[in-house]
Amino acid sequence: MPECCPAYVALGSNLDDPKSQIERAIMALDAIPQTRLLQRSCLYINPPIGPQDQPDFINAVARLDTALAPLDLLDALQAIEADQGRVRSGEHWGPRTLDLDLLLHGDRTLAIPRLTLPHPGMHERDFVLYPLAEIAPWLVIPGLGSLDALIACCPSRGLLPLDRSDG
């Protein structure tokens, strides 16, 4: 079996009971073959970054240990999205039942049509950086720098943590 490495996944939902969508997705992450869930952030609520005529998003970040190659892990993430009703309408930053973004796969950098690592734009998204810092404050993002430095340049746009007991 290949050697395992850490991978970080951003989770987001703003349709069909977003909290439940995220919680189900977190359980599904732990069921991916050759992968286990090591840690997850609390849930956060934040306004959409795209069209404003949609519900707020619920977001989180999960830390995995995986032996899967990046594209194999991406395939597993997209299968979870489909299982939870994700329909890719082509609307950029539109509403969705579930969005799973592979942020990091070890210290690998990659730029191919299906996948870019580290995830592009992650350094500008408070709903990615703040939950990521909750579970991995020591991270250095390849080509971007320390998580602390990235957060210093990315103020919150209204991101609010939700208590895990909120449902």
> Which residues belong to the active site?
86, 96, 99, 101
Residue pair 51/96 in contact (Cβ under 8 Å)? The answer is no
Helical packing angle, 18-30 and 70-83, nearest 10°:
140
The amino acid occupying position 55 is P
110 - beta bridge partners?
A: 117
User: 């995220």: which residue's tokens?
Assistant: 22
By C-alpha distance, which of 34, 28, 30, 38 is closest to 70? 34
By C-alpha distance, which of 124, 149, 127, 128 is closest to 138? 149
